[in-house]
Amino acid sequence: MAETDRRPTDEVRQPEPPLPEESGLTLEEHLAMQRAIGHPTRFRILRTLVANDELSAAELKSAVDVESHNFHYHLDELVDVGLVDKRQRRTADSRGFYTYYRPTAMGRGILEHGVEELMRRERGFNDAYS
């Protein structure tokens, strides 16, 4: 692009604010969620939870097949940013509490309408142009 083809600075349009004023989350919180789900292990953990609704830590670790020391770090990251909810409850045949994890509504939304939507679109483009 030649120097004379450039727009004057006063014509540069500013984008709309990314969130409505009454948003329940800040931009930083939204971006933290996006960063969290951007890691392959955390993506697999969240995807597995969405498919199963609720799993114990042992069930989830087995299903995702991640080393123990990495698993809890990644699971805690998802809990910390609000994509996964951690609940403790007692079962009828137990003496203690068991910890269960489930996706939050935001976790489901980011997965289904964010990352997986982009993947569906890419599949559609591949099908259309192959």
SS (H, E, C) 29-78: HHHHHHHHHCCHHHHHHHHHHHHHCCEEHHHHHHHHCCCHHHHHHHHHHH
In tens, the pLDDT along 36-66 reads 988 999 999 999 999 999 999 999 999 998 8
Residue 90 has pLDDT above 90, yes or no: no
Q: Which two tokens stand for residue 97?
A: 């509490």
The residue among 91, 96, 90, 58 whose CA lies nearest residue 75 is 58
- Give whole-number Cα distances, 121 to 46, 116, 130, in Å: 20, 9, 14
Residue 120 has pLDDT above 80, yes or no: no
Query: Which domains are seen in the chain, by residue range?
Result: 24-129 (1.10.10.10)
Do residues 51 and 108 lie in contact, with contact meaning Cβ atoms separated by under 8 Å?
no
Residue 96 has pLDDT above 90, yes or no: no
* CA 84 distance to own-chain centroid: 9
**pTM of the predicted model as reported, rounded to 2 decimal places:** 0.74
What CA–CA distance (Å, rounded) separates 99 from 94?
12
Residue 7 or 114, more confident = 114
Percent of the chain with pLDDT over 70: 82
Quote the pLDDT of residue 69: 83
| Contacting residues for 59 by C-beta, under 8 A, at least 6 apart | 52
Average of pLDDT values for 99-125?
Answer: 80
